[in-house]
Chains A and B, each alone.
Chain A
Amino acid sequence: MSALLASGAHFGHSQKRMNPNFVPYAYGVRAGITIIDLDHTLPLLRRAAQVVRGVAARGGSVVFVGTRTDLRSAVRLAAERMGKQGYHVGERWLPGTLTNKVHMFGPEVARDTQVIPDLVVFLNPIPNIHAIRECALEHVPTIGIVDSNVDPRIVMYPIPANDESTRTAELVAGLLSVAGREGVAIYQEEQARAAIAASKRSRSREPLA
């Protein structure tokens, strides 16, 4: 796992426009570029995967956001892996999607469906800072690939890594979506078990009635 991460074009980003809050995740500087410490990245990535699995296992909806042309397919595939609980945003995130949902989707949809997702994953948080703010306002937990020029506290579960590399983003999205797929499987198993138990209960009640 660690070897895979190290082999991906994953380490090091941005000249010395480093955010001071990023220092704990930085290994050092070389040739004017901040190198990210992968020994910190790996456990945080595992933690993020646990979060996605946990949210999916409780029937939560996960949105993958990647608004660059090269991230579009990665985000769509990740959402496809999670089946009914996965969503994707490959183009610009429209401001007001969560905070202005009545205007955006119509009063019937806003009233009858659960519009606010249970988790949002950002593959490029810098252009989507307004989306992150909306998630914070609506109390939605966020996961994001934070780079060295970004304050890692903007998302709830940061993954310090290179956000400009397509392979890194695909790797992270793939990992999280696979964990999400496991969570979806757990949820469906539970639902099936509950359905069987409910049908048994109803059958056991029938002769009494």
Chain B
Amino acid sequence: MTPSLESGRSFPLATQSRPGRLSARTCALVRQRARSPSSSVSLSRALVSGAVRGTMNIAKQVAGGALRFRAYATAAYVPPASLEGMQRARPPPSKPKPESPSFYTGRANYFDQLLALEKAAKQTRTALQELQILPLPRFAQQNLPPSPGYRRFIGQLNQLNEYRRLAEVAGHMELAGRIQRVLDMFERENKDAILAQGKRKPVKFDEFGRSYTIGRRKESTARVWVIKAKEAASSSTAAAGQGEAQPSQDAPAVGIPGFTRGPLSMAPTPIKVPTTNILVNNIPLVEYFPHLSDRERIVRPFRIAGLLGAYNVFALVRGGGSTGQSGALALGIAKALAAHVPEVEPLLRKAKMLKRDPRMVERKKTGRAKSRKAYTWVKR
């Protein structure tokens, strides 16, 4: 009664309801022949030919999988004997199957862990039930030991902290110190790290005295290393003193001709101008920023702080255009100067050099030509 099944790998035709003994094609042939006005003889002949065709189908099935699905009436008959030595098409190498049983949910890791937890909870529940701990009877619930009572503890510690503050404000430092020692017993080791979590981290210096800061403007980022410039060849001049006139190689320093008395007759004291380098992406500043406005923007933090020849700068800048890169560099330099010379920080802050310019390119909106520009208004 139950129809026999072919291999489970056949292509699904969801309309196939009852596969019978004869193939569907044979049935169709028989039905076709039967419809034509013919006698029972021709019908039997049709059945026979259909049966012959059925055997032909079986032969083709034996031949191999490819022919099974292309059993056209025009295909040539191949005797089984010549199919003996034929090489069968090897099935394609099978790929490994997914490991997790919840692979087809799309979130295998989540469901695996969730189900493992549910299983653990279930097992714990059964174990506790076996040990008669679950469900807990009323008398046991009432006599459970109380939960740790952290609320009272923290209340007391807060109170102590308040007293410590009062003592500090009142000037009784010894008392405040003793209270602090009591509080220290309850504080964590990494208390400072936790307290400093949300705040801005201070700029760190490495073993050579270099600071590393980052500045950003528009789409550009500048990574800036600033190191104090050494007073290189000025040791001899410093020892000699400022008043002595140092004859330069080109011409001796003399007063302006035509003046015999007064300040203009005196030879000017030569000023040793310290030179420092600013390298941007390993290129000197003048080459990298040919525009004066960009260079001025970069040097502005030095001017405001009054530290023009004091520091060497090495920067790596990426992204954006010349204005963005110069602005990012200026911010990085300002942050570094504030770290090297903390006295200068209020000056830079007043000049708004330490503020990251939040202006960014505004996005284009739908219905507009650009971010603000509207299309030409048409009356109709």
Q: Which residues of A contact B (CB under 8 A)?
A: 43, 46-47, 50-51, 54-55, 58-61, 63, 76, 79-80, 84-91, 93-94, 97, 104-105, 109, 112-115, 117-119, 135-136, 139-142, 153-156
Give 9 new A-B contacts, CB below 8 A, not counting A153-B15, A156-B13: A47-B2, A58-B7, A61-B97, A63-B104, A84-B97, A88-B105, A114-B95, A141-B12, A142-B14
Does chain A have a CB within 8 A of B288? no
Q: Are A97 and B106 in contact (CB under 8 A)?
A: yes
- State whether A97 and B104 are in contact (beta carbons under 8 Å apart), knowing that A113-B95, A155-B14 are contacts in the complex: yes
Does chain A have a CB within 8 A of B85? no
Q: Are B8 and A51 in contact (CB under 8 A)?
A: yes
Pick the contact of A54 from B8, B106, B111 — CB < 8 Å? B8
Q: Are B3 and A47 in contact (CB under 8 A)?
A: yes
Would you list 18 pairs from A and B whose C-beta atoms are within 8 A, ordered by A residue? A43-B1, A47-B3, A47-B5, A54-B8, A88-B105, A97-B104, A104-B106, A109-B98, A112-B96, A113-B96, A113-B97, A114-B95, A114-B96, A114-B97, A141-B12, A153-B17, A155-B14, A156-B13
B residues 1-55 touching A (CB-CB < 8 Å) = 1-3, 5, 7-17
Q: Are A60 and B101 in contact (CB under 8 A)?
A: no
A-B CB contacts (within 8 Å), total count: 92
Q: How far is the CA of A99 from the CA of B334 in the complex (A)?
A: 55
Q: Which residues of B contact A (CB under 8 A)?
A: 1-3, 5, 7-17, 94-98, 101-106, 111, 115
Which B residues lie within 8 Å of A46 (CB)?
A: 2
Q: How far is the CA of A109 from the CA of B3 in the complex (A)?
A: 39
Q: Are A87 and B103 in contact (CB under 8 A)?
A: yes
Which B residues lie within 8 Å of A114 (CB)?
A: 94-98
Q: How far is the CA of A136 from the CA of B14 in the complex (A)?
A: 8
Which B residues lie within 8 Å of A86 (CB)?
A: 101
Q: Are A119 and B8 in contact (CB under 8 A)?
A: yes
Q: Are B15 and A113 in contact (CB under 8 A)?
A: no
Q: Are A76 and B105 in contact (CB under 8 A)?
A: no
Q: Are A117 and B3 in contact (CB under 8 A)?
A: no
Q: How far is the CA of A155 from the CA of B8 in the complex (A)?
A: 15
- State whether A88 and B102 are in contact (beta carbons under 8 Å apart), knowing that A153-B14, A154-B14 are contacts in the complex: yes
Which B residues lie within 8 Å of A91 (CB)?
A: 105, 111
Q: Are A141 and B101 in contact (CB under 8 A)?
A: no
- State whether A87 and B14 are in contact (beta carbons under 8 Å apart), knowing that A51-B5, A54-B8, A60-B8 are contacts in the complex: no
> Which chain B residue has the least Cβ–Cβ distance from A132?
B14
Q: Which of B11, B16, B103, B115 has the most CB of A within 10 A?
A: B103
Q: Are B12 and A139 in contact (CB under 8 A)?
A: yes
Q: Are A55 and B101 in contact (CB under 8 A)?
A: no
Q: How far is the CA of A28 from the CA of B7 in the complex (A)?
A: 35
- State whether A87 and B104 are in contact (beta carbons under 8 Å apart), knowing that A61-B97, A114-B94 are contacts in the complex: yes
Shortest CB–CB separation between residue A79 and chain B, in angstroms? Answer: 5
